[in-house]
Amino acid sequence: MGKRVLLTGATGFIGGRTYPALIEAGWDVRGASRNAARLRAEQPERDWVDFDVQDRHSVEAALQGVDAVLYLIHAMGEAGDFEQKERVAAHHVLAAAEAAGVKRLVYLGGVAPEGKPSKHLRSRLATGDILRSGKVPTIELRAGMIIGAGSASWSMVRDLAARLPFMILPSWLQHRSQPVAVDDVVFALVRALELPPEVQGVFDLPGPETLTGEQILQRISQLLGVKPFTVRVPVLTPKLSSYWLKLITRANFGVAQELVEGLTSDLVARHELFWTFVPEHRPTPFDVAAGDALREEGQKLSLSTRAVEWSLQHLARHA
């Protein structure tokens, strides 16, 4: 198999961390961006290509001469109907990949919920269905919360634990998930590119522990050295919770609404696990991954934000 990969979402949370891992693995990486001209000026050592996933011709040009595609893009948080945008994007990439003779497509999606999927998860699952419907051998990796500085879902729970000395716990925080470390996700993406073409389909990518939302908040609080006063309530709906999150966390309101809606049922692996292909790799324990993310996140916060959080955590320690 050739070694040139088109990295979509190259400047995002996952894409930015995947680039050095791809280089280390021997891949020739072509970064895809709507701002390729600016990135060429800022990072001339890297290969950048213009890429507007809503423009079929742009996608076709970007995929010429590549052996594999890492699909790391989504439209949640953008203006307009993000479900429609994501369907169009997936169809464009699949058609261009087939025409260009791409040998492997790897897509990072979301875990299928036990109950009715939220709009966000429904779109993530539909994107996977589209990409897997063609002739290109495709691996869909499904992850829940990704633990790492810059992850929207991680930042949301991190901010709650760091900023609330008194915490209301709605009933949806009793649903279970399997948070996975960002380093494990990056490892899986790179290894998925290298698997034989007959390996294709859907593979869950769980972390090593199954935790409720409440347990996740408790574990983060313990790592911060605080013990907030908590009260369980049965009536705080996900919609109301998203307004609360807007006040307390850095989460984009629209993104927070979609993420919370996705937490209204269990997000637990149910399909064959990807880790069986890489038995030498041990997924990172929650506390290790969360500790790393907390340290990295803390370094990026402003002095004023850190001072406010320190005051709130001091209050939680003595409440």
Share of the chain above pLDDT 90, in %: 58
Where is average pLDDT lowest: 37-41, 79-83, 124-128, 234-238?
Answer: 234-238
Mean pLDDT of 213-239: 78
At residue 5, φ and ψ (nearest 5 deg) are: -120, 140
Rounded distance between C-alpha atoms, residue 204 and residue 180, angstroms: 11
Mean pLDDT of 208-229: 89
With cut-offs at 50, 70 and 90, classify the pLDDT of residue 6: very high
The C-alpha angle 60, 64, 70, rounded to 5 degrees, equals 80
Res 188 pLDDT > 80? yes
With cut-offs at 50, 70 and 90, classify the pLDDT of residue 163: confident
Res 208 pLDDT > 90? yes
Rounded distance between C-alpha atoms, residue 93 and residue 82, angstroms: 16
Residue 71 tokens read as 């699909």
More confident call, 269 vs 156: 269
Structural domains in the chain, sorted by start: 4-149+178-209+272-277 (3.40.50.720)
With cut-offs at 50, 70 and 90, classify the pLDDT of residue 103: very high
The overall average pLDDT reported for the chain is 86
From residue 285, how far is each of 94, 191, 223 by CA, in Å? 35, 20, 13
Could you read off the pLDDT of 255-268 as tens digits, one per residue? Answer: 666 666 666 778 89
Could you read off the pLDDT of 277-291 as tens digits, one per residue? Answer: 999 999 999 999 999
More confident call, 130 vs 164: 130
Sign of CA dihedral 293, 296, 297, 303: positive
Rounded distance between C-alpha atoms, residue 222 and residue 216, angstroms: 10
Give the E-state strand segments of the chain in sequence order.
4-7, 28-33, 47-50, 68-71, 104-110, 138-143, 146-147, 166-170, 176-177, 180-181, 201-204, 211-212, 229-233
| Contact of 224 with 313, CB cutoff 8 Å | yes
Rg over CA atoms, the chain: 20
Res 54 pLDDT > 70? yes
Res 100 pLDDT > 90? yes
Rounded distance between C-alpha atoms, residue 154 and residue 145, angstroms: 7
Res 126 pLDDT > 80? yes
With cut-offs at 50, 70 and 90, classify the pLDDT of residue 78: low
Mean pLDDT of 284-301: 90
Res 60 pLDDT > 60? yes
Rounded distance between C-alpha atoms, residue 213 and residue 18, angstroms: 27
Rounded distance between C-alpha atoms, residue 310 and residue 154, angstroms: 19
